[in-house]
Chain A
Amino acid sequence: MGESAAREESHLPLARGCTDRIGMLRQEVLTTPWELCIQRARCYTDVCKTRTEEPIEVRRALAFRKTLEETPIQICDGELLVGHRTSKRVGSPLFPEVKPAWIEAELDFFSSREFQRFDVSEDDKAILRSEVLPYWQERGARERFSALISPDSEEALATAVFFVEHEFANGVGHCVPDCQMVVELGLNGIQTKIEEQLGGLDTTTPDGMKKSQFLRAASIACAAVSRFAMRYGELAREMYREERDARRREELLKIAEICSRVPGQPPRTFWEALQTVWFVHLGVTLDDGGVAQALGRLDQILLPFLVADLEQGLVSRQEALELVECLFLKTSETVNLLEAIATVGVGGNTSFTEITIGGVDRHGQDATNELSFLFLDAVEEMKTIQPNCAARLHSKTPAEFRRRVTDVMAGGSVSLQVVNDEVIVDAYAKKGVPLGDARDYAIIGCVEPTPAGLTYASTDAFFVNTALCLEMVLGGGKSLVLGTAGADTGNPRSFQTFGAVMDAYRAQIAHFIRHLAICFESIGQAHAELLPCPFQSAVISDCVERGLDVKQGGARYNFTGGNAIGTAIVADSLMAIKQFVFEEESISMDEMIEVLQNDFEGREDIRQMLLNRAPKYGNDNDEVDEIARELVDIFATELGNYPSPRHGSFSTSLYSVTAHVAMGGMISATPDGRKLSAPLSVGISPGQGRDRGGPTLAMKSAAKINYLNVANGSSFNLKFHPSAVRGEAQRESFSNLIRTYFRLGGQQLQVDVVDADTLLAAQEHPEQYQDLIVRVAGYSARFVDLDRTMQDEFIARTEQARLG
Chain B
Amino acid sequence: MKKAVVFDVQRYSVHDGPGIRTVIFFKGCPLRCRWCQNPEGLQPSPELGFLPERCIRSGNCASACADGAILSGKKRIDRTRCTLCGDCITTCHAEALKMIGKEFASDELMEEVSRDRPFYEDSGGGVTLSGGESLLQIDFVEEFCSQCREEGLSVVVETCGAVPYDSFRRIIPFVDLFLFDVKAIDPSLHKTWTGSGNERILSNLERLAESGVPIIARVPIVPGHTALPSNLNQIADRLEGSFPEVHLMPYHRWGESKIDLTDSPQPSLDLVAPDHEDMGAVEEIFARRGLSVRVGG
Residues of A within 8 A of B (CB): 604-606, 608-609, 611-613, 620, 693-697, 700, 724, 727, 729-730, 732-734, 736-737, 739-740, 743-744, 766, 773, 775-781, 785-787, 789-790, 793-794, 797, 800, 804
Contact = CB atoms under 8 A, between A and B. Distances in A.
Nearest to A789: B257
A644 to B, nearest CB: 37
A780 B256 contact: no
Contacts of A724: 12, 14
7 contacts: A604-B56, A605-B58, A612-B93, A736-B122, A736-B123, A740-B20, A744-B118
Contacts of B119: 696, 736-737, 740
A467 B191 CA distance: 60
Interface in B232-282: 247, 249, 252-258, 260, 273, 276
B142 interface: no
B257 A786 contact: yes
A696 B56 contact: no
B118 A778 contact: no
Given A737-B119, A779-B38, A779-B255, A785 B51 contact: yes
B140 interface: no
B102 interface: no
B283 interface: no
Given A700-B115, A729-B18, A740-B123, A776 B254 contact: yes
Given A732-B123, A733-B20, A804 B276 contact: yes
Contacts of B11: 693-697
Given A605-B56, A736-B20, A777-B297, A790 B122 contact: no
A608 B7 CA distance: 23
B272 to A, nearest CB: 10
B45 interface: no
Contacts of B23: 778, 780
Contacts of A775: 12-15
Interface string B1-35: 00000011011111110111001010000000000
B58 A733 contact: no
Interface string B116-129: 10110111110000
* Majority-rule SS of A interface residues: helix
A606 B60 CA distance: 12
Nearest to B13: A775
Given A737-B123, A777-B249, A793-B273, 8 more contacts: A611-B93, A697-B115, A737-B12, A737-B20, A740-B118, A777-B218, A779-B255, A793-B253
Contact of A786 (B38, B158, B254): B254
Contacts of B51: 785
A39 B38 CA distance: 66
B193 to A, nearest CB: 17
Contacts of B16: 777-778
A241 to B, nearest CB: 54
Given A733-B123, A737-B123, A778 B249 contact: yes
Across the A-B interface, the 10 shortest Cβ-Cβ residue pairs: A777-B297, A777-B15, A736-B123, A608-B93, A790-B257, A609-B93, A608-B94, A780-B8, A694-B11, A605-B58
Given A605-B93, A608-B56, A733 B297 contact: no
B296 interface: yes
A737 B255 CA distance: 27
Contacts of A739: 122
B210 interface: no
A480 to B, nearest CB: 23
A797 B252 CA distance: 11
A225 B46 CA distance: 75
B150 interface: no
A362 B25 CA distance: 49
Contacts of A606: 93
B7 A780 contact: yes
Contacts of B123: 732-733, 736-737, 740
Nearest to A794: B254
Contacts of A695: 11-12
Contacts of B196: none
B53 interface: yes
Interface of B: 7-8, 10-16, 18-20, 23, 25, 37-38, 41, 51, 53, 56, 58, 60, 93-95, 115-116, 118-119, 121-125, 130, 158, 218, 247, 249, 252-258, 260, 273, 276, 294, 296-297
A727 B257 contact: no
Contact of B115 (A620, A730, A743, A777): A620
B277 to A, nearest CB: 12
B25 to A, nearest CB: 5
A794 B58 CA distance: 31
A696 B12 contact: yes
B196 to A, nearest CB: 19
A137 B35 CA distance: 72
A620 B60 CA distance: 30
A604 B58 contact: yes
A734 B20 CA distance: 8
Nearest to B57: A604
A697 B13 CA distance: 13
Contacts of A743: 118, 122
A316 B161 CA distance: 57
Nearest to B10: A780
Contacts of B25: 780
Contacts of A727: 15, 294, 296
A790 B20 contact: no
Given A739-B122, A780-B38, A790 B256 contact: yes
Nearest to A733: B14
A609 B90 CA distance: 10
Nearest to B258: A781
A468 to B, nearest CB: 27
A730 B257 contact: no
B225 to A, nearest CB: 17
Nearest to B18: A729
Contacts of A778: 15-16, 23, 37-38, 130, 158, 249, 297
A794 B255 CA distance: 12
A695 B19 CA distance: 14
Contacts of B247: 777
A785 B53 CA distance: 8
Contacts of B8: 780
A693 B116 CA distance: 11
A800 B15 CA distance: 19
B165 to A, nearest CB: 22
A620 B8 CA distance: 17
Looking at A694, A737, A779, A789, the one whose CB has the most chain B CB atoms below 10 A away is: A779
Contact of B95 (A612, A733, A737, A780): A612
Nearest to A726: B296
Contacts of A608: 56, 58, 93-95
A777 B115 CA distance: 21
Contacts of A694: 10-12
Contacts of A789: 257
A505 B76 CA distance: 44
A395 B295 CA distance: 33
Contacts of A740: 20, 118-119, 121-123
A779 B11 CA distance: 12
B49 to A, nearest CB: 10
Contacts of A700: 115
B124 to A, nearest CB: 8
A448 B288 CA distance: 53
A325 to B, nearest CB: 30
A694 B112 CA distance: 13
Nearest to A788: B53
Nearest to B256: A790
A733 B56 CA distance: 38
Contacts of A613: 93
B223 to A, nearest CB: 15
B257 A787 contact: yes
Contacts of B260: 787
Residue of A697, A744, A777, A786 ringed by the most chain B CB atoms within 10 A:
A777
